[in-house]
Amino acid sequence: MKSLLKHRLAWPVIALAALLLLNQVFRPDFLSLRMQDGHLYGSLIDIMRNGAPTILIALGMTLVIATRGIDLSVGAVVAIAGAASCAYIAASPEPGSPVTAATAVLIAVIAGLALGIWNGFLVSTIGVQPIIATLVLMTAGRGIAQLITGGQIISVSNDPYKSIGAGYLLTLPISILITAAVFILAAVLTRRTALGTLIEAVGINPVASRLAGLRSRNIIWIVYVFSAVCAAIAGLMISSNVTAADANNAGLYIEMDAILAVVIGGTSLAGGRYTLVGTVVGAFIIQTLTTTVYTLGIPPEVTLVFKALVVITVCLLQAPKARNLLSSLKAAPKPAAKEKVAI
Amino acid sequence: MSPLTTLTPLTVKKPSPARNRLRGGARYAPTLATVGLFIAMFAVGSGMYPSFLSGQVFLNLFIDNTFLIVLAVGMTFVILTGGIDLSVGAVVALSMMVSATLLQQGWNAGAIIVLVLLIGGGLGLLMGLIIQYFDIQPFIVTLAGMFLARGLCYVISLDSIPVTEGFFTGMAQAQIPLPGDLFVSPGVLLALGIVAIAFFVLHHTRFGRTVYAIGGNEHSAMLMGLPVKSTKILVYALSGLCSAVAGILFSFYSLSGYSLAAQGMELDAIAAVVIGGTLLTGGTGYVLGSVVGVLVLGIVQTFIAYDGTLSSWWTKIVIGGLLLVFILLQRLFARKTR
């Protein structure tokens, strides 16, 4: 039991289980799933579907944070990707055809690639601190998205495009399947190859890993591109779910949710060791929180206060200092030498 | 007086005078570049629009941005220690909501202002304590603070509340005449007063030197026996206090309280500080630079207002572009001094 509690995923999983249990107590049919018209329905499916964009972005963010970086621009990338694809569909001669939808997806992914390369260039080649390098795109990005949409909300009606965010395949929402595919891809690519170790090496000590012959620049570049592409796909999901591109509000504050998901999941902002599973659990916690607010009948305007309190509680529980305090009853271990944490 | 004051001449003496001058020059360079940029933008504006070149246009930059100046002052302290405060925009909104609601219920304006300052300072203090004693990153703690403050706004009210109380409307309408048919608002004097105090505190007190020392190297600062803990906590309390003042100034300016107000203002404040030449890694920067940073952001908006054909989103793109230019400039200077 003790060793289980010491596992890095223990607290996030306990928090998630507690939240789900709380919901189950207040609404006995909460955990039940039902089939209707060949689709699975239920609160759990809703949580997963609504959380899909956040999970996707948080996956990219995990790798960025593992290299001691941070990507603030993901919300802007969401807006740009949605704006670009919807603007293309709206302007194309056949706004309803699958080919148009496919091209729109391609455009969004290419936009994500380009923006990721830009962020990676600033961080790895120019050597700008990640937080400022991505702040540039965070600030300018929404402006660019508005430039693309002309300040309007562009609505599109294209069934294949709509299915990305709202469609079903094999009884499951397509957005969940896409997110699962990206998760498996990221997990296999980083854990079955040396890439994951290299990313952690860069995060733990960039100088040492460079001296050890690692091309840390390329690694850093890869994670920013991956993060931006994830954000672009999330942008597709969000815009397709409402069949419109809203340059102002699409993905607003999603970078904050994603960063929180990563931190709650147990990956330190100081870089180094990361856990993709933890991130997914963290994202579920955040999404379940929103659902819990509705289940408990808490007025929606209190959601943010509730979220703030849970976030700070989970962070406090995870903080090594708080844990030391808890275990100091038994023995007083010397706190490890503090390293300056760069964000 | 303090051990530091007696030490300062020694540390200054070490490098040869010529090298010292060069280093000093490089230290001021980013801020001077910002001043140069501001003058250039003002000159270009005056060339393009005849009415641009007036003292009042210049003063309006202050009048329209009092709250941002105060926010940037608080943010400069936090960033100088190597931290960040994402909660400022939400605290501004909370201050506005609290004052608008209580004014509506007939509270005394002075009591409200004191209460708002206590809330802002208290929230900042709380965040500082958590950051220091639980060793959680400032980014996360102030993000939670942002959620909390914004959430409390929603709890108070989802509607926009107008402010009709005498003192607030008086402050909104008051104009302090200056020679040459010019005027400023009382808020400008308050903001400039805060800048002056911040300047004095940063450059002429032990607290200010400790702020710079922490940003330079927290570990060394601790080994030197500086009060690192209390300074770090105080810096966040100070930023919270500045946010509350900014909230009151914004109430004077907009005469309302709205839970969605000041969204993204934390980014404007951070951008102003960075454009003003403060390094986000901490240790280097000037509060006066941040003020010029705010003026640069203000002049971008004035430009777009004067042009009339450019849409509002160009503001964001230009600010992003400016950020980029200044970051690259800083990299350049950082390499040269190394």
Measured between CB atoms, which of B151, B281, B316 is closest to A142? B316
Residue pair A56/A75 in contact by the 8 Å Cβ criterion: no
pLDDT score of A192 more than 80: yes
Of B154, B270, B328, the CB nearest to A304: B154
Q: Of residues A271 and A72, which shows the higher confidence score? A: A72
Cross-chain residue pair B134–A321, CB shorter than 8 Å: yes
Confidence of residue A61 (pLDDT cuts 50, 70, 90): very high
Please report the pLDDT score of residue B273 as a whole number. 92
* pLDDT at residue A205 greater than cutoff 60: yes
Interstrand relation of B256-257 and B161-162 (parallel, antiparallel or unpaired) = antiparallel
Distances (CA, A) of A37 to A31, A44, A171, A174, B156: 20, 18, 9, 16, 43
Residue A168, helix vs strand vs coil: strand
Show which of residues 196-215 on chain B sit within 8 Å of chain A, judged by CB atoms: none
- Residue B127 CB burial class (10 angstroms; 0-12, 13-18, ≥19): buried
Show the tokens assigned to A288: 């379940």
- In chain A, residues with a C-beta closer than 8 Å to the C-beta of B82 are 340, 342
Q: Residue A91 burial (CB < 10 Å; 0-12/13-18/19+)?
A: exposed
Facing residue for B280 by CB, picked from A132, A269, A319:
A132
Among B144, B219, B315, select the one facing A308 at the smallest CB separation.
B144
Q: Is B123 on the interface with A (CB under 8 A)?
A: no
CB contact under 8 A, A315 and B141: yes
Q: Give A199→chain B minimum CA distance, Å.
A: 21
Partners of B97 on chain A (C-beta within 8 Å) are: none
Read off the pTM: 0.81
Rounded Cα distance between B70 and B192, Å, is 8
What is the rounded distance in angstroms from the CA atom of residue B250 to the CA atom of residue A16?
A: 40
Give the pLDDT of residue B208.
92
pLDDT given for residue B92 in this prediction: 94
Looking at the complex, does the CB of residue B331 fall below 8 Å from at least one CB of chain A? Answer: yes
Q: Across A13-27, B261-275, B310-324, which has the greatest mean pLDDT? A: B261-275
Q: What is the pLDDT of residues A73-132, one digit of tens each?
A: 999 999 999 999 888 888 887 777 888 888 888 999 999 999 999 999 988 888 888 888
Written out in words, the top-level CATH class of the domain with range B33-337 is: mainly alpha
CA distance B16 to chain A (A): 30
Query: In angstroms, rounded to a whole number, what is the distance separating the alpha carbons of residues B270 and B280?
Result: 9
Tokens of B86: 């994402």
Q: Which of A305, A307, A341 sits opposite B152 (nearest CB)?
A: A305
* pLDDT above 90: residue A265: no
Maximum mean pLDDT: which of A88-102, A300-314, B82-96: B82-96
A326 CB-near residues (< 8 Å, 6+ apart): none
Give the Cα separation of B33 and B238 in Å (integer): 28
What 3 state SS string does chain B have? Answer: CCHHHHHHHHHHHCCCHHHHHHHHHHHHHHHHHHHHHHHHHHHHHHHHCHHHCCHHHHHHHHHCCHHHHHHHHHHHHHHHCCCCCCCHHHHHHHHHHHHHHHHHCCCCHHHHHHHHHHHHHHHHHHHHHHHHHHCCCHHHHHHHHHHHHHHHHHHHCCCCEECCCHHHHHHHHCCEEECCCEEECHHHHHHHHHHHHHHHHHHHCHHHHHHHHHHHCHHHHHHCCCCHHHHHHHHHHHHHHHHHHHHHHHHHHHCEECCCCCCCHHHHHHHHHHHCCCCCCCCCCCHHHHHHHHHHHHHHHHHHHHHCCCCCHHHHHHHHHHHHHHHHHHHHHHHHHC
| pLDDT, tens digit (0-9, with 9 covering 90-100), for A283-306 | 998 888 888 877 777 777 777 787
Domain spans, chain A: 8-29+38-323
Residue of B nearest to A139 (CA): B320
Assign A173 to helix, strand or coil.
strand
Interface with chain B: mutation pick from A305, A309, A324, highest number of B CBs within 10 Å: A305
pLDDT per residue over A33-44, tens digit each? 777 776 777 778
Higher pLDDT, A331 or B71: B71
CB contact at 8 A, A288 and A47: yes
Residue A57's pLDDT is: 94
**Closest partner residue to B317 among A140, A304, A307, by Cβ?**
A140
CB contact under 8 A, A129 and B311: no
B71: tokens are 């926010």
Q: What tens digit of pLDDT does each residue of A146-189 get?
A: 888 887 888 787 777 777 777 777 777 888 888 999 999 988 98
Structure tokens at A272: 């180094």
Rounded to whole angstroms, the Cα distance separating A259 from A74 reads 10
Q: Output the CA torsion sign for A3, A6, A12, A18.
A: positive
Identity of the amino acid at B225:
G
Q: What is the ipTM of this complex?
A: 0.74
Q: Which SS3 state, helix, strand or coil, does residue A126 take?
A: helix
Q: Between A and B, how many residue pairs show a Cβ–Cβ distance under 8 A?
A: 143
Whether the CB-CB separation of B267 and B159 falls below 8 Å is answered with no
Taking an 8 Å cut-off on Cβ atoms, the answer to whether A305 and B151 are in contact is: yes
Return the closest-CA partner of residue A14 out of A291, A264, A256.
A264
Name the residue in chain B with its Cα closest to that of A142: B316
B309-333: buried (b, 16+ CB within 10 Å) or exposed (e) per residue? eeeebbbbbbbbbbbbebbebbeeb
According to the model, what pLDDT value does residue A6 have?
A: 66
Confidence of residue A338 (pLDDT cuts 50, 70, 90): very low
Q: Match 């509607």 to its residue by tokens.
A: B159
User: Given this model, what pLDDT does residue A70 score?
Assistant: 87
pLDDT interval class at B171 (50, 70, 90): confident
- Whether residue A335 is predicted with pLDDT greater than 60 in this model: the reply is no
- Residue B115: pLDDT band by 50, 70, 90 thresholds? very high
Task: Reply yes or no on whether the pLDDT at B17 is more than 50.
Answer: no
Predicted pLDDT of residue A224 = 94
Q: Which of B151, B280, B321 sits opposite A308 (nearest CB)?
A: B151
**pLDDT for residue A343 is more than 50:** no
> Which residue of B84, B140, B328 is in closest CB contact with A315?
B140
Does B143 sit within 8 Å of A256, measured CB to CB? Answer: yes
B151 interface with A at CB cutoff 8 Å = yes
Query: What pLDDT score does A5 carry?
Result: 62
List the Cα angle B57/B59/B65 in 5-degree steps: 105
Q: Under an 8 A CB cutoff, do B151 and A302 touch?
A: yes
Question: Which chain B residue has the Cα nearest residue A317?
Answer: B134
Task: Count Cβ neighbours within 10 Å for each residue of B81-102 and write b for 16 or more, e otherwise.
Answer: bbbbbbbbbbbbbbbbbbbbbb
Least confident of A217-231, B22-36, B255-269: B22-36
Instruction: Examine the pLDDT at B336 and tell me if it is beyond 60.
Output: no
Percent of chain B residues past pLDDT 90, beyond the cut = 35
Contact in structure between A312 and B87 (CB atoms under 8 Å):
no
Q: A258 exposed, middle or buried (CB, 10 Å; 0-12, 13-18, 19+)? A: buried
Token code pair at residue A81: 């990707």
Q: Residue B162: beta bridge partners?
A: B256
Residues of A in contact with B217 (CB under 8 A): 340
The matching CATH number, chosen from 2.40.128, 1.10.3470, 1.20.58, 3.30.1300, for A8-29+38-323 is 1.10.3470
Q: Which of A122, A149, A301, A311 is the best mutation test for B, with the most CBs of B within 10 A? A: A301
Q: Which pLDDT does position B232 carry in this prediction?
A: 93
Lowest mean pLDDT across A15-29, B74-88, B229-243: A15-29
Average pLDDT over chain A, rounded to whole?
81
Q: What is the pLDDT of residue A2?
A: 56
Facing A343 at nearest CB: one of B84, B217, B324:
B84
pLDDT band at B240 (very low <50, low <70, confident <90, very high): very high
Which residues sit opposite A245 in a β-bridge? A154
Amino acid present at A248: N
- Select the residue from B75, B84, B133, B139 to test the A interface by mutation, using most A Cβ atoms within 10 A: B139
CA pair distance B157, B138, nearest whole angstrom: 28
- pLDDT, residue B42, reads 86
Closest-CA residue of B relative to A131 is B280
| Residues near A290 by beta carbon (within 8 Å), at least 6 away in sequence | A50, A303, A307
| pLDDT above 60 (res B12) | no
pLDDT for the residue numbered B114: 94
The answer on pLDDT for B71 being more than 90 is yes
Contact yes or no for B131/B193 (Cβ under 8 A) = no
Reported as a single tens digit per residue, the pLDDT across B269-298 is 998 998 888 887 778 888 999 999 999 989
The percent of residues in chain A predicted with pLDDT above 70, rounded, is 91
- CA–CA min distance B179, chain A (Å): 39
pLDDT class for B18, splitting at 50, 70, 90? very low
Q: Inform me whether the pLDDT recorded for B299 exceeds 80.
A: yes
Q: Rounded to an integer, what distance in angstroms lies between the CA atom of residue B273 and that of residue B160?
A: 30
Chain B residues whose CB is inside 8 A of the A147 CB are 311, 313-314, 317
Chain B, window 219-278: residues with a beta carbon less than 8 angstroms from a chain A beta carbon:
219, 267, 270-271, 274
What is the per-residue pLDDT for A329? 56
